[in-house]
A and B are shown apart, each in its own frame.
Chain A
Amino acid sequence: MAVRTLTINEKLVSAPEGATILQAARENGIDIPTLCQLDGLSTVGACRLCLVEVGPSGRLQAACVTQVAEEMVVRTETPKLREYRKMIIELLLTERNHVCAVCVANHHCELQDLAVKLGVDHVRFEYLHPHLAVDVSHELFGIDHNRCVLCTRCVRICDEIEGVHTWDVSGRGTNARIISDLNQPWGESPTCTSCGKCVQACPTGAIFRQGSTVAEMEKDRQRLRFLLTAREKREWLV
């Protein structure tokens, strides 16, 4: 296989022909932030977080879809890129309702991790606070559109790995929504195999396993009585 030699961040690296800049960078321990990219799925170049500066003109290109070329010069960390990546995260945080404290994915969220890693310590845009639906009609899973970043990883994993294509996108622009089948409740989907791949693929708390969300915490107050009885009357009821 032909090998291409290129420079990433002043470092000479080699990568097989046909590899993407992202693959070449990762092979060499250079981290480029990504969100819509997921190994094993097709690449769409949609989140724009993996943009890197290419060539002397510094043209921005998505590392996940741009193939390496001989003598290519790539910069993955420049002040401009850092600023643009921060702005992308800020745009996502303002677009829907990303309230980490009450999110099922708190501390297990790629959006949150990116915000921390990229140093998003404040948001310069106005929060839009849209009113969005939560669909918990499926017996095992739920989808909360307030947390969705429209990365389409669920759409692709369902189509390309599970081979079902339950998920797709309806509407456009900021009104775009992930929908199941013909925009019907997930629980009524005739195609969903309940495989749960989308739950794993979702980078945020948008698609989750039921019973894991904050509001679903159920307490068994009866237990307190048992404890009291046991202590006062030294009597175990069970």
Chain B
Amino acid sequence: MDLHELNDIAADQRAAQKPCVIRCCMAAGCQSAGSVAVLKALQQAVTEAGKQNTVEVRSVGCLRLCCQGPLVQTDPDQRMFQKVRPEQAPSLVSTLDGRTTDAEPCDPNAPFFALQANVVLVNSGRIDPEQIEHYIAADGYAALARALTEMTPQDVVEAVTRSGLRGRGGAGYPTGVKWSLVARSKGDRKYVVCNADEGDPGAFMNRSVLESDPHSVLEGMAIAGYAVGASQGYIYIRGEYPLATQRLQTAIRQAGRLRLLGTHILNTAFDFRIDIRIGAGAFVCGEETALMASIMGERGTPRPRPPYPAESGLWGCPTLINNVETFANIPQIIRRGPEWFASIGTPKSTGTKVFALTGKVRNTGLVEVPLGTPLRVLVEDIGGGSPSGKIKAVQTGGPSGGCVPAHLLDTPVDYESLAAVGSIMGSGGLIVMDEANNMVDVARFFMGFCMDESCGKCIPCRAGTVQLHRLLTRILDRKATRRDLAVLEQLCGMVKETSLCGLGQTAPNPVLSTLRHFRHEYEALLRDE
């Protein structure tokens, strides 16, 4: 495979494109709503109408409005249909001839779609994630080709640094700085690891990206491998994502067959192999040192840092670990330039962020917006507000994050602003709550999650989360006194400051942030001493 052959594949694919495309969402959300049967019915309806030569029924990734699945979209007339049933397939196909259908329309110009950005999710819902030719026709692997043939590894690191991209796993560490640390580390062997152990309750951003556009992650990883001098990559994916794993396996096999992974990639001296490692259901394995232990076949528990992975990671070698979404941004930064990327978002938080919008909100689904977008736009305009009428708070960052109260909804979504109001950006979970949600109960839910997911290595996290959960339960049972509330606050501070890894250090955050903004709810539940 060389650049010309890559261009040929893209040209052939575009030439073979039929004039009409019916896209049926086959991501996990729509599949669970029955889209497999819808896809089959659509294919059959096209055949029965004798339109096989002009209409392509395409299995695509996430079409974003998950709450209304199964979703179907037609081209070139740009119509969308929601909650499609298999028996509606014939009439849906007939709309291509201008006929009417009883399938429920979905307005693609509604704020939910119109206010979204298209960077990470540019191919999501457009291409068939199981066809590498589709990805190549959408300029896929052009960034890798450009990096390998026109840029030095230092150029690539420089471009990523200039783009201002920050880690999308949650902490927001500058990606370019991380890459240059690994690139400068001495070592014959280096590794690139993609963290796909997405585990926050209610979060499905990474799953959607992997199910919808797996090649963008592979391409991002290969570019990273070239930039830092690694020839082996691992994708650590959680075991609960069988569909994403299967699509990744397919993608890796296809890329290997076209020599876009493996040895002598694109006829250069660059070798890069990617293997999948599947998690066994431990949330803590999303923590980078625990993740590496798990990849190496050890018990998935964190270890103290330093040494950081950039210096000593997998098998003691320099290791670059980035999140799925971080890697998915890379091809476009290389192809469209760091300046283009930096022009999106805010000066300190560039680019876009994908969110999984859930909870008490009308439109739940996958949402991508430029960083700096106010939370209000996300939940009220894109999300359509709460069905009950009044939003009480928005939870960001999952069990490590916090609740932003309704009066702070104008907070822009960027790393610093969210931290200033006591929450975090996190990996992209966004849970909307209304007046029916008791905030102490919300805090206890997340504490219960951390308690169950604590690995048990360090005492503050292992035993502290249990006691925090007990104290919250006491408060909810109206058995707690002011003294218990004081102990709760002391213990939160202690667990936060003394725990070994990020799980324990951030476990008190949901309590601390609800105490900060909703203290009266705690106090209302106390009994007299």
Contact = CB atoms under 8 A, between A and B. Distances in A.
Contacts of A72: none
B490 A87 contact: yes
Interface string B472-504: 000000000000000100110010011110000
A95 to B, nearest CB: 5
A224 B456 CA distance: 51
A46 interface: yes
Interface residues of A, number: 32
A175 B456 contact: yes
Most B C-beta atoms less than 10 A away, residue of A51, A95, A125, A149: A125
Contact of B500 (A48, A149, A173, A174): A48
Contacts of B459: 46-48, 88, 91-92, 149-150
Contacts of B490: 83, 87
Interface stretch (B157-165, B346-354, B446-454): B446-454
A65 interface: yes
B467 A94 contact: yes
A144 interface: no
B514 to A, nearest CB: 21
18 contacts: A48-B459, A60-B497, A60-B498, A83-B490, A87-B464, A92-B463, A95-B462, A95-B463, A124-B487, A125-B487, A125-B491, A172-B284, A173-B451, A173-B452, A173-B453, A173-B454, A173-B455, A174-B456
B453 A91 contact: no
A109 B402 CA distance: 41
Most B C-beta atoms less than 10 A away, residue of A150, A171, A173: A173
A168 interface: yes
A150 B299 CA distance: 15
Interface in B410-459: 451-459
Interface string A200-222: 00000000000000000000000
Interface in A8-47: 44-47
B317 interface: no
A108 B463 CA distance: 24
Query: Which 5 A-B pairs have CB atoms at the shortest separation, nearest pair first?
Result: A176-B456, A91-B463, A173-B454, A45-B304, A95-B463
A124 to B, nearest CB: 5
Nearest to B498: A48
B282 interface: yes
B219 to A, nearest CB: 35
B140 interface: no
Contacts, number: 92
A173 B450 CA distance: 9
B497 A84 contact: yes
Interface residues of B, number: 30
Contacts of B451: 173-174
Given A173-B455, A173-B462, A84 B494 contact: yes
Nearest to A62: B304
A92 B113 CA distance: 52
B497 A128 contact: no
A88 B304 contact: no
A149 B282 CA distance: 22
B304 to A, nearest CB: 4
Nearest to B454: A173
Given A150-B456, A174-B454, A94 B463 contact: yes
B470 interface: yes
A58 B386 CA distance: 44
Interface string A100-130: 0000000000000000000000001110100
B304 A65 contact: yes
A227 interface: no
B494 A87 contact: yes
Interface in B312-349: none
Contacts of A95: 462-463, 466
A229 B72 CA distance: 101
Given A65-B304, A92-B463, 6 more contacts: A88-B498, A128-B466, A150-B459, A172-B282, A173-B451, A173-B456
Interface string A59-89: 0101001100000000000000001100110
Contacts of B466: 95, 128, 173-174
A69 B413 CA distance: 38
A46 B463 contact: no
A149 B460 CA distance: 12
A46 B459 CA distance: 7
A22 to B, nearest CB: 13
Contacts of B465: 173
Most A C-beta atoms less than 10 A away, residue of B455, B456, B490: B456
A228 interface: no
Nearest to A175: B456
Contacts of B497: 60, 84
